[in-house]
Structure 1
Amino acid sequence: MSENKLTDLPVIKDYIYNTDTKNQILKYDRENKLITRYPTVYIVIDKIRKNKFKAYVGETNNIIRRTEEHLKSEAEYRTDWLELNKSNDAKLIVIAHKEFNKSLTLDIENQLMQYLVSDDAIVELNNRRSNDQDLYYTREHFQDIFKSIWQGLFEKYSEIFPQIDDITNSAIFKASPFHKLTDEQLDARDKIIDNIQRIKKNHKDDNLIIVQGSAGTGKTVLLSSLFAELNKVNKQEAYMLVNHEEQLKIYKNISSKIGLKSSFGDDIVNKPTKFLNQHPVKNALIDANQKVDIVLVDEAHLLLTQGYMSYKGKGQLEDIKKVAKVVVVVLDPMQVLKGNGYIEDDYFNNLIHKSLEDDNFIELTQQNRMMASADTINWIEDIVQKGVIGDIPNDDSYSLKIFDNVNEMYDEVKKHDDSIESLTKGLSRLVATYDWEYKSGKLREYTNSRGEKVKDFWRVKIGDDFSLPWNRQIKPEHKYKDLSWAEQRQTINEVGSTFTIQGFDLNYCGVIIGPSVKFRNGKIIYDSSCSFDTQVKNKRTLVNKKKVDISSELIRNQLNVLLKRGVHGLFIYAVDEELRNELLSKYNQK
């Protein structure tokens, strides 16, 4: 900010929220023009139970008049305000700053909602409005002003507002519908909303909109924003479907906090199989009134393309298209990890061709997760797309390291999991390709050297001195049990897989490339005999009844997912000696 460096702190005042609020403000702050005459941002907080609150965020040019409106006219037709007005515990927090103007307060309001939807203490957030602003006079001061506001809120009300890094490192924050979208994401969102209305108006049978993008291009943030935006419109609702258990928790948390519900009475956030069981295709084909309005599908590359367990159909995407008026999917074919989700080339190409023909295809290309240079991203793409290991680029903005010793890599990950030093540290984990045995729900039984039968965790073991539990086995503390794998504190002592980390960000990611990935004759190859993932090893039966081995493609996709998790850094250790030596030779040439 150079000579215009911001030094003034925000003014944060609180008042009992009731019919006497106006008198309280006039009594204590009549002469404080920042409160009474300038634009302000405000939060109405109501305690629901111990350490749990509901919140409403707003901004206004006149806090006294706006409070009177909430207390009187709005309570007549809004149940959320009626409940707040009847509360004996509600508090009005008013935030003022000498730099506030209309655009800045709208941006502050929006970012407060983004933070509060990620705040464990807030269980209900009543204002879902999103008012991202473009450029304005004080835009360059926005981040500094917001950080000082949040720090002030934390210092005054720490039971409600946690430290800023606890928010920004949370999985729900990274998927929040209140993120400021990039120009590419905004253009995509506008086009999708327009296309949805066109399809509904024309009652089109070609009701599929496809958003394609590789890992880290912001597909989830775009879809989360759409989820909140589409559900604002009266007499319209958008379901959110995702097959990934960890991501499902995040969307359920978001929908609960901002009060999104289905008119059919089922969960507005669900897994595809459960959704289809609650909305049978045969009912929708008989009665068009049984069709749901809009279905959004995150991680659509995880949809089943054949029957599996309680799903009896032949393809979830085709079934979803039959029970919804409009379907919006985001996908990346290079994140298909299971044989029962394998997309045959002809089917996929036909989908893309048809969506292009109908102008219903959108591609995201901007890398939003990895804070790396284009050269670094291209280096990773060459590994997963071409199977070649190029020269490792110098990148001052991203930490890319190759290790000869897995324990040294683990030490580096643990060092970066310390959240005290800076916001770029914390939320760092070890992950690995699925090359070690694991069975969910039970411990490993084996006979030890003394002939005794004992039980232990399933483990990732490398050599004689590296052994860590594998995939969600250490029991979390109660307060962490509903968080995603990466957010649970004990998982720094585990190794995760693609199935625990897909769709999530890590600040620093240590990737153990297991023995299923090898380097031979100048190329990376994939050896399914070293994989313990049965969905990789089993042959896939195609539409033409031919059985094919797709293991190399699926293992490559696993590697692709793991290498693109790190926001600020990627650390790599390869079990295969030839692969490790090739990576180290490129690293040592830097």
Structure 2
Amino acid sequence: MVKISKPVIHEIDYTVDGLKKFSESAVNFKKKSRKYLLDYPTVYIINNEARENTYNVYIGETSNIKARTNQHLLTNDINRELSRLPTTNSASMFVIGHEYFNKSLTLDIENKLMHYLSTVDQVDTVYNRRTNQQNKYYTSEYFEEIFSKVWQELRKKNKILFPLKSIIEDSALFKASPFHKLTREQIDAKDKIYTKVINSLESDKVGELILVAGEAGSGKTVLMSSLFYDLKKELAREVESKKELKVHMIVNHDAQLTVYKQIAEKLGLTSKNNLEAVLKPTRFINNITNEDPVDVVIIDEAHLLWTQGKQAYRGKNQLHDLLERAKVVIAVFDVNQILTTEQYWEEDELEKIKAMSKKNDNYIFLTNQMRIDAEEQTIDWIRNLVDNQIVLNIPNDDKGYEIKIFDDAEKMHNAIKEKSKNQEKGISRVVATFDWKYVDKRKPENEEYWMVKDNDFKIPWNYQLKPKNKSVKYKDVSWAEQPHTINEAGSTYTVQGFDLNYVGVVIGPSVKYRNGKIVFDKEESENRKAKQRRTLKDGSKEYLSDFLLKNELNVLLTRGIHGLFLYAVDDQLQEALLKAQKGEIKIG
């Protein structure tokens, strides 16, 4: 086994004098340090403390650190973004060298530093250009270990700018970052979409639909985030007009909207026109006309768009309206994550949009499971529970994914608390099916909070408890990232689209087990949007609760990266799950 050495990291003042001192003092460096910093490729981080404990950063790599630093200092035309970084005494530069550094490895280190630093709370802005993901190369097998050692050494120099990796990796911002290293499937999809967008813009058509499908956890959000970054940063250079293009990210989910807005602000992706780069569909539709369409619209979680009029939206189908207002629409769609009657698509309408995209070879289906870190038989167990509504014996998982059934909800909550205490295990939370009453912005009559209850167990629904640390502002932080929410139960409204390391699901009384099958009972659900009737286009009214409550269960069961803990209120379902844990389910 190869032992990976520590990197060499040297900090200099980011000034002409600082560069001069670095050059002069290099003769006194140890031989290896001098070689790795001056003769090998290096990675560097320019950081400017714009305000106390708040930084702007630029990350780069070079084969000649002295020449490249001189260019940054004296010739700002080389990098316009960098010219916005004031070269004051508060600016410094970390120069990073390593014996294994080559061009490909330094590009990967640069990209990963952009990924991590762009999600650090104390970093205001990352001034960089497009990503430079590398594939296989000579030292690629050592990349992760080398990066960890680089980060550890940087932490010794500045713990505020370089916090614990585990804290960063738990943030929703990190998980949705455009700087994730993409899989081959995602790279192929991204290249195909990018080419389609260029061809479509040059033909000047309106309403070209590119549909991206795949189950929960198949990497759709990361793909869209990466596309959004590249389209905003690079697309204008690729098309003949070279004019600034109007590219917008649309998302109909409050928590995800906040995450995308933060990404746009930190990475300089905000619009120069009056309309925000990241916004909700109704605001976009009400501000853009058919006569003046934008260039590209990306819709994450397009299954959350409305298919009927509601509130300020006066149309009939938001996706159709978006297609009339953009030359290209890239939509992520998962029919198994539709949760309310106002999002429901009738089968023939759904087939029409699929056919529209397939006609021009614009239908992309992602198959890899990116979230659940488990063996295939474990994923199959979850899919059988949801899709086929059957309970099978829980398989052993050699990758360590943990499915555990609890005979008491309180014990499950305590187990989730234990997982959450360990920073290496990351954020873990309890969630529940919407089977207990909750009314937003209203207090219950006889209790302090709206509660999820079973026997002696009770826990408040999400967004009710106040943080203990009043000095921390959690307005722009997702529900699960707020420490006090370990004592609340999340719902599909707070966790859809987000990851948890371990998820404990209280399966409420709307999910039952009868005659060897899971069934759904709308009378036990408090989710009015799932159990009310929907008026169909032929004028008939139909209950969609079986479909929508099944999707609710699907969203909750697919949040956990490393583990899924379960407790069922229905006695027969609980009995079946406990039998499955012991391997006592008889097949056939």
Matched, 1:523 2:517: yes
Larger mean CA deviation between 517-526 and 18-27 belongs to 18-27
Question: Using the alignment, how far apart are the partners of 1:196 and 1:252 within structure 2?
Answer: 23
Alignment correspondent of 1:254: 263
Structure 1 residues 305 and 460, CA, compared in 2 at 3 Å: closer, same or farther? same
Matched, 1:419 2:422: yes
Question: Using the alignment, how far apart are the partners of 1:481 and 1:245 within structure 2?
Answer: 11
1:570 Cα deviation after fit: 0.3
Alignment correspondent of 1:578: 572
Alignment correspondent of 1:174: 175
Give the 5 Å matches for 1:503-518: 503-518=497-512
| Structure 2 gap segments, 5+ residues each | 237-243
**What SS is found at the alignment partner of 1:480?**
coil
Alignment correspondent of 2:459: 468
Alignment correspondent of 2:72: 70
Question: Using the alignment, how far apart are the partners of 1:320 and 1:191 within structure 2?
Answer: 22
Question: Using the alignment, how far apart are the partners of 2:278 and 2:206 within structure 1?
Answer: 24
Larger mean CA deviation between 435-444 and 176-185 belongs to 435-444
Larger mean CA deviation between 182-191 and 269-278 belongs to 269-278
Give the 5 Å matches for 1:58-457: 58-73=60-75, 75-76=76-77, 78-233=79-234, 234=236, 235-279=244-288, 283-284=289-290, 287=291, 290-397=292-399, 398-420=401-423, 423=424, 425-446=425-446, 455-457=447-449
**What SS is found at the alignment partner of 2:161?**
coil
1:77 Cα deviation after fit: 6.8
Query: Over residues 30-63 of structure 1, what are the superposed CA-to-partner deviations in whole Å (9 max), with x where a residue is unaligned?
Result: 3422212211100000111121110000000111
Question: Using the alignment, how far apart are the partners of 1:85 and 1:101 within structure 2?
Answer: 30
Question: Using the alignment, how far apart are the partners of 1:133 and 1:474 within structure 2?
Answer: 44
The residue identity in structure 1 corresponding to 2:147 is F
Question: Using the alignment, how far apart are the partners of 1:237 and 1:506 within structure 2?
Answer: 34
**What SS is found at the alignment partner of 1:228?**
helix
Structure 1 stretches of 4+ moved >4 Å: none
Asked if the contact 2:72/2:78 (under 8 Å) is kept, the reply is no
Larger mean CA deviation between 486-495 and 437-446 belongs to 437-446
Alignment correspondent of 2:477: 483
Query: Over residues 375-405 of structure 1, what are the superposed CA-to-partner deviations in whole Å (9 max), with x where a residue is unaligned?
Result: 1111111121111112211112210111111
Question: Using the alignment, how far apart are the partners of 2:205 and 2:390 within structure 1?
Answer: 44
The residue identity in structure 2 corresponding to 1:412 is A
Question: Using the alignment, how far apart are the partners of 1:48 and 1:269 within structure 2?
Answer: 25
Asked if the contact 1:106/1:132 (under 8 Å) is kept, the reply is yes
1:85 Cα deviation after fit: 4.5
Asked if the contact 2:209/2:356 (under 8 Å) is kept, the reply is no
Matched, 1:15 2:7: no
Asked if the contact 2:509/2:524 (under 8 Å) is kept, the reply is yes
Question: Using the alignment, how far apart are the partners of 2:309 and 2:155 within structure 1?
Answer: 50
Question: Using the alignment, how far apart are the partners of 2:434 and 2:3 within structure 1?
Answer: 50
**What SS is found at the alignment partner of 2:445?**
strand
Question: Using the alignment, how far apart are the partners of 1:404 and 1:474 within structure 2?
Answer: 26
Asked if the contact 2:207/2:327 (under 8 Å) is kept, the reply is no
1:205 Cα deviation after fit: 4.3
2:21 corresponds to which of 19, 24, 34: 24
**What SS is found at the alignment partner of 1:445?**
coil
Asked if the contact 2:42/2:63 (under 8 Å) is kept, the reply is yes
Alignment correspondent of 2:239: none
Larger mean CA deviation between 178-187 and 407-416 belongs to 407-416
Alignment correspondent of 2:241: none
Asked if the contact 1:507/1:569 (under 8 Å) is kept, the reply is yes
Query: Over residues 341-364 of structure 1, what are the superposed CA-to-partner deviations in whole Å (9 max), with x where a residue is unaligned?
Result: 011111111111221121000000
The residue identity in structure 2 corresponding to 1:399 is E
Alignment correspondent of 1:564: 558
Asked if the contact 2:507/2:568 (under 8 Å) is kept, the reply is yes
Alignment RMSD (CA, Å): 1.3
TM-score normalised by structure 1 residue count = 0.94
Asked if the contact 2:213/2:334 (under 8 Å) is kept, the reply is yes
Question: Using the alignment, how far apart are the partners of 1:293 and 1:96 within structure 2?
Answer: 42
Larger mean CA deviation between 324-333 and 385-394 belongs to 385-394
1:86 Cα deviation after fit: 3.9
**What SS is found at the alignment partner of 2:48?**
strand
Question: Using the alignment, how far apart are the partners of 1:494 and 1:85 within structure 2?
Answer: 44
Question: Using the alignment, how far apart are the partners of 2:551 and 2:153 within structure 1?
Answer: 45
TM-score normalised by structure 2 residue count = 0.94
Question: Using the alignment, how far apart are the partners of 2:70 and 2:114 within structure 1?
Answer: 22
Alignment correspondent of 1:551: 545
Larger mean CA deviation between 249-258 and 32-41 belongs to 32-41
1:158 Cα deviation after fit: 0.6
Asked if the contact 1:165/1:419 (under 8 Å) is kept, the reply is no
Asked if the contact 1:215/1:564 (under 8 Å) is kept, the reply is yes
Larger mean CA deviation between 191-200 and 470-479 belongs to 470-479
The residue identity in structure 2 corresponding to 1:28 is S
Alignment correspondent of 1:449: none
Question: Using the alignment, how far apart are the partners of 2:540 and 2:50 within structure 1?
Answer: 59
Asked if the contact 1:18/1:85 (under 8 Å) is kept, the reply is no
State percent identity of aligned pairs: 47
| Structure 1 gap segments, 5+ residues each | 447-454
The residue identity in structure 1 corresponding to 2:7 is P
Question: Using the alignment, how far apart are the partners of 2:89 and 2:316 within structure 1?
Answer: 55
Structure 1 residues 56 and 210, CA, compared in 2 at 3 Å: closer, same or farther? same
Alignment correspondent of 1:451: none
Question: Using the alignment, how far apart are the partners of 1:438 and 1:395 within structure 2?
Answer: 37
Asked if the contact 1:128/1:228 (under 8 Å) is kept, the reply is no
The residue identity in structure 2 corresponding to 1:125 is V
Asked if the contact 1:217/1:369 (under 8 Å) is kept, the reply is yes
Question: Using the alignment, how far apart are the partners of 2:518 and 2:457 within structure 1?
Answer: 25
Question: Using the alignment, how far apart are the partners of 1:180 and 1:147 within structure 2?
Answer: 16
1:83 Cα deviation after fit: 3.0
Alignment correspondent of 1:5: 3
**What SS is found at the alignment partner of 1:457?**
coil
1:441 Cα deviation after fit: 1.6
The residue identity in structure 2 corresponding to 1:122 is V
The residue identity in structure 2 corresponding to 1:139 is S
Alignment correspondent of 2:451: 459
The residue identity in structure 1 corresponding to 2:194 is I
1:204 Cα deviation after fit: 3.3
Query: Over residues 504-535 of structure 1, what are the superposed CA-to-partner deviations in whole Å (9 max), with x where a residue is unaligned?
Result: 00000001110000011111111111111110
Matched, 1:497 2:499: no
The residue identity in structure 1 corresponding to 2:503 is C
1:84 Cα deviation after fit: 2.2
Asked if the contact 2:233/2:269 (under 8 Å) is kept, the reply is no
